[in-house]
Amino acid sequence: MQAGRATIISGFVAAGFWLLESVIHYEIFEHLAFELLPSDPNELWMRSAMCATILLLGINSDRHSRRILEKEREKHHIFRATVRSSQHVLNNLLNQMQYFMLHAEDEGLIKDEVKQLYAQSIEESTRLLKNLGSLGNPCAVKIKKAVEPWQPAVSDTNPSGGNARVPE
């Protein structure tokens, strides 16, 4: 909601109320003259109190809306900072894993099948991190979809339907 919108609307409602009250007093209560500003102090007090109440409701609504928007911005900022921090930690971990893999390859400790699964895991982790980091307006559904791994069809070699076949 735009800043001050409820206050502006409540101002128009209060003005409309004041005008409607004047029309009602002239038409229904059959006052002799149409009075936009009533001569009766009690009527003036009641209209003023009602208009002030309507305006205060609009002002309060705007204040409440601003607080809600500030909290949402804060949550979004915290989410983005958390994602960036997580990406940093996970990128460091992935780099360390690649370093260990290079040394294990040099020593001949890793089978080709494991190398392939390892590369797929690194690629998928990188993709999921990028998906999570690129969310514009995060919500629970978008976050879940961003980190949802690919689910290939269930096969004989992968009966669980997961991302990669675990070597035996």
Across 137-152, average pLDDT: 72
Q: Is pLDDT above 60 for 154?
A: no
Q: Is pLDDT above 50 for 6?
A: yes
pLDDT score at 137? 77
Contact between 128 and 163 under an 8 Å Cβ cutoff? The reply is no
Torsion, CA 9, CA 10, CA 13, CA 15, rounded to 10:
-110
Q: What is the pLDDT of residues 13-57, one digit of tens each?
A: 999 999 999 999 899 988 788 999 999 999 999 999 999 999 999
Q: Is pLDDT above 80 for 167?
A: no
Cα–Cα distance for residue pair 19/36, rounded to 1 Å: 7
Q: What is the pLDDT of residues 102-118, one digit of tens each?
A: 888 888 888 888 888 88
pLDDT score at 156? 39
Q: What is the pLDDT of residues 47-105, one digit of tens each?
A: 999 999 999 999 999 999 999 999 999 998 998 888 888 888 888 888 888 888 888 88
154 vs 1, residue with greater confidence: 1
Contact between 167 and 158 under an 8 Å Cβ cutoff? The reply is no
Amino acid identity for residue 33 in this structure: A
The one-character DSSP state at 33 is: S
Element containing residue 98 per DSSP (H, E):
helix 41-106
pLDDT score at 164? 44
